[in-house]
Amino acid sequence: MSGDFKAGALHCVDGRFVETHARAIAELRDQFDGAWVDQLTNPGATAAILLEDDSTSGVFANFAGIENLHQIDTIVLIEHEDCGMYKFLAENGHEEFVVTPETEKAVHAENAYAAAEILKAEFPNMEFLFRYATLDGYIEDL
């Protein structure tokens, strides 16, 4: 059974992106020859990792859980445009979440790569992939 699973994907809870995230997962399954992709959600996706607070340990526990349960070897970090958690954090003094229309995708990329470095300490054998969902429903590489 474990061979049927490949990856765990972390994305934001934002309901506006349900269909886009589902399409991102479907594209990943195609890329993985049909293997399953488990889904984890958090407000702000990788924000929970970067904040290094109580929510961080939850993300680590969830990835450890699916690593043990499904022997995944890949973690996919999916960020998205117009993230409310980024606005909330930016307004509350977290400069790493401040974005403008011009810098938004680059900031998400920087944060996703930084989150991957934190995750690699705990999951050194995982491969990492990065995606970015747009309000128009596109899925781009980060």
Residues that bind Zn ion (CB under 5 A): 12, 14, 83, 85
Q: Which residue, 6 or 20, has its beta carbon nearer to Zn ion?
A: 20
d(C-alpha 138, C-alpha 132), whole Å: 8
Which of 122, 124, 139 minimizes the C-alpha distance to 60?
Answer: 122
Q: Least distance to Zn ion from the beta carbon of 49, Å?
A: 14
- The Cα 116–Cα 110 span in angstroms is 10
Which is closer to Zn ion, CB of 14 or CB of 67?
A: 14
Between 70 and 99, name the residue whose CB sits nearer to Zn ion.
99
CB of 12 to Zn ion, least distance (A): 3
Query: 13 vs 35, which CB is nearer to Zn ion?
Result: 13
DSSP state, residue 53: S
Distance, in Å, from the CA atom of 53 to the CA atom of 72, rounded to the nearest integer, reads 25
Q: How far is the CB of 85 from Zn ion (least distance, A)?
A: 5
Report in angstroms how near the CB of residue 20 gets to Zn ion at its nearest. 12
Amino acid at 23: R
